Amino acid sequence: MNFLRNTFAVIIGLVIAGLIITLGIRIFPQWITFEAFAPFEHWQKFLETMQDDKAFFGFLLFISGLGTTVGGVVTAMIVKYAKVAYAILIGFIMLFIAMLDVIVFPYHPTFYKISIFLTFFPFSWIGGKIVSIIYERKKKRRIAEKMNQNK
């Protein structure tokens, strides 16, 4: 049962991270150079037009970090054990997807190629750590309340 729960948590975390990144790209209408929303069909042409726009790739790194953090938080909330480890798994999978993007579409600037390594793992770890700290505090509060009730 834990396997299904953990698999579900990872899938939900990836969907949420991907959704945040996709919606983040669509926030600024001047960046959208295509009419229909079909991101995979138009991605190469889109990257070609954004190739020299450092602000776009900086924002993409920011929104990727935010999406990975939220995806890590959601994943860590759903899994029962090893919350930080499963959140880091979200970062690893997102890094793998980003590396495939960099390999398939060569229009990314060098700073972006280097920075994705420094974005996905730390932010997913932060997401898992946030949930882990919250759960530990709740656990300590429950223990303190039980001890106060026994006095």
Mean pLDDT of 111-128: 91
Distance CA 122, CA 70 (A): 12
For residue 130, the model assigns a pLDDT of: 94
Please report where in the chains the tokens 């309340």 appear, as a residue. 145
- Looking at the chain, the whole-number percentage of residues with pLDDT higher than 90 is 52
What range defines the domain where residue 13 resides?
A: 2-150
- Which amino acid, one-letter code, is at 35? E
What phi-psi label fits residue 82: left (phi over 0), alpha (psi between -120 and 50 degrees) or beta? left
CB atoms within 10 A of CB 58: 14
* Residue scoring higher pLDDT (113 or 1): 113
Quote the number of domains for the chain: 1
Query: How high is the mean pLDDT of the chain?
Result: 87
Each residue's pLDDT tens digit, 52-85: 778 888 898 999 999 999 999 999 999 999 999 9
C-alpha distance from residue 7 to each of 20, 22, 140 (Å): 20, 22, 29
For residue 1, the model assigns a pLDDT of: 77
C-alpha distance from residue 35 to each of 30, 44, 95, 104, 105 (Å): 12, 15, 28, 23, 21
